[in-house]
Amino acid sequence: MDLVQKEHERLSKRLKASQGIKNVQSSIDLLQSARDSIAADPTQASITLAKLQNPVKTSFDSINDSLKETHSGLNKYTKSLDKLFKDRPLPSTEHDALSSQEHLINRAIAMHLLREGQFSVAATFLSEITEKRAAVHAPDAKFTDHGINLLDVDEVPSTEIRKQFAAMYYILQEMQENYNLLPAIEWSRENREALEARGSNLEFELSRLQFVWLYHGASDQQVTGISGRQAALEYARREFHSFVPRYLREIQQLMGAMAFCSNLQDSPYGSIFNNPSAWEDVAHSFTREFCSLLGLSADSPLYIAATAGAIALPTLLKLQTIMKAKRTEWTTENELPVEISLPPSYLFHSIFVCPVSKEQATDQNPPMMMPCGHVIAEESLKRLSKGNRFKCPYCPNESHFKDARKVFL
């Protein structure tokens, strides 16, 4: 990389210093002055012209010299690029499984744009897809119906989802720019059951932040003190009763803090009331809950997948070259032949690798737990037991195939 930078620097300098145009100008000047002198005194024409030959030629030569210099600069830069990307060709294009699924990719992109809040880009994108589709299908009317159908079902995230994301962005914006938690609280109240089933504290977290915010005097910095406390207490009286069964302790803390109002900073409750990242945390958990209720992951899947792809690519490329050199292919088409180590935050599921066969569990070969609590894959279990009692490979316990139970990770 350093080399590329250096060569590029050198190249730009060379271009800046390039004398090409100046030389062209000097030939023009030469020609012009010759013309003037001939016009003034036609008798001198042949001498002037004869004198002109060499200087014009030299100036062309120097143009070419400066071009040569640029050329060598360009070549050096090419070499530095080649060196940087040496042995790292882009993966071969033999089979691009994704190009047949263009519409799915487009849908993923559209949803990515929506969830990133790029509504206008998303709208343009969708309308361009529609246009193109219409153009493709226009010649044969037979397909037009089909096309429109595809558009609704597959390609474009339904208007419902679009509306949902718009709502999410409205709420987030209110929260982050105007410190207005009310739309978020309202949303969480509407979805209370679903949130509770997920074990989410969102509604209470939002209400608690609202309480703290009121306590600090809302947006108005002047009104600290009594009126803020008053407003917070009123809010608590009005809203907190529904939280009492689940969050009694937390509410007690909030109320207890009232007694320390003169010196809240040093009280045990200081951290609740002065948490600089509180707003960010709440916005984050709101986004997560909102997306989860839609059945979507909190971070853009497209982002995670593309990043994971970039991380995985070097390994996969190496594999490709090795396999090409050895002319082998891997047999299990449905599993990658190498392990790719992704950062821990990219692991989303538990993974069960059978300790006996070293294969990953699948629907066809699920993990089975023996009575002793050790787990191996079903196929390994069958192979070990052969219908008889057998010893667990990990402890002295003996059991029968039918004693083992399927577990879900």
Partner 1 sequence: MAAELTSTKLNPESHLILDQPLLRLPHELARKNFKTVQRTVEREKEYVLPALKDAANASLNNTHTPDQTLAALDAMISRMQGLKRKMENLQDEEKKIQIQSRKRIQHLETLHKIPSLADVKYDQWSRVRLDRLLVDHMLRSGYSESAKQLAQEKGVEDLVDLGVFTQCQRVVESLRRGETKEALQWCSENKAALKKSQHNLEFELRLQQYIELVRSQDKKKKLEAIMHAKKYLIPNHESQKTEILRAAGLLVFTQDTKAPPYKSLFSLDRWNFLSDLFIRTHHELLSLPSQPLLHIALSAGLSALKTPLCHSAFTSSSSNSQSTTTSVCPICSTELNELARKMPYAHHTKSYVEGDPIVLPNGRVYGQARLMEMSKKIGAVESGKIKDPTTGEVFDENEMKKVYIM
Give phi and psi for 267, each to the nearest 5: -80, 165
Among the listed residues 17, 84, 166, 167, the single contact to partner 1 using CB under 8 A: 84
Interface pattern 101-130 for partner 1 (x via CB under 8 A)? xx-xxxxxx-xxx----x-xx--xx--xx-
**54 Cβ contact list (under 8 Å, min separation 6):** none
Q: How far apart are the first and last CA of the chain?
A: 45
* Nearer of residues 266 and 339 to partner 1, judged by Cβ: 339
- The residue written with tokens 């350093």 in the block is 2
Among the listed residues 58, 81, 218, 385, the single contact to partner 1 using CB under 8 A: 81
Among the listed residues 74, 172, 233, 278, the single contact to partner 1 using CB under 8 A: 74
Alpha carbon of 151 to those of 118, 154, 163: distances in Å? 20, 6, 17
* Nearer of residues 215 and 247 to partner 1, judged by Cβ: 247
According to DSSP, residue 409 is labeled -
Using the rule CB under 8 A, is 167 a contact of partner 1? no
Among the listed residues 295, 331, 387, 388, the single contact to partner 1 using CB under 8 A: 295
- Best CA proximity match to 154, nearest among 106, 120, 121, 99: 106
* Nearer of residues 222 and 348 to partner 1, judged by Cβ: 348
**82 Cβ contact list (under 8 Å, min separation 6):** none
Using the rule CB under 8 A, is 312 a contact of partner 1? yes
| Binding positions for partner 1, 327-386, rule CB under 8 A | 332-353, 355, 358, 360-363, 367, 369, 372-375
According to DSSP, residue 398 is labeled E
* Nearer of residues 162 and 216 to partner 1, judged by Cβ: 162
| Binding positions for partner 1, 175-204, rule CB under 8 A | 196-201
* Nearer of residues 127 and 265 to partner 1, judged by Cβ: 127
Using the rule CB under 8 A, is 173 a contact of partner 1? no
**Closest approach of partner 1 to the CB of residue 275, in Å:** 19
* Nearer of residues 81 and 172 to partner 1, judged by Cβ: 81
Count of residues in contact with partner 1, rule CB under 8 A: 141
Q: Based on C-alpha coordinates, what's the Rg of the chain?
A: 36
Output the six-digit token pair for 28. Answer: 């023009």
Using the rule CB under 8 A, is 28 a contact of partner 1? yes
- Best CA proximity match to 332, nearest among 362, 299, 295: 362
Among the listed residues 10, 31, 283, 398, the single contact to partner 1 using CB under 8 A: 31
* Nearer of residues 118 and 180 to partner 1, judged by Cβ: 118
Using the rule CB under 8 A, is 405 a contact of partner 1? yes
Give phi and psi for 31, each to the nearest 5: -60, -40
- How far apart are alpha carbons 168 and 286 in whole angstroms? 9
Strand-pairing partners, residue 398, are: 391
According to DSSP, residue 333 is labeled T
Using the rule CB under 8 A, is 12 a contact of partner 1? yes
| Binding positions for partner 1, 131-160, rule CB under 8 A | 132
- Best CA proximity match to 18, nearest among 54, 56, 64, 80: 64
| Binding positions for partner 1, 218-257, rule CB under 8 A | 245-246
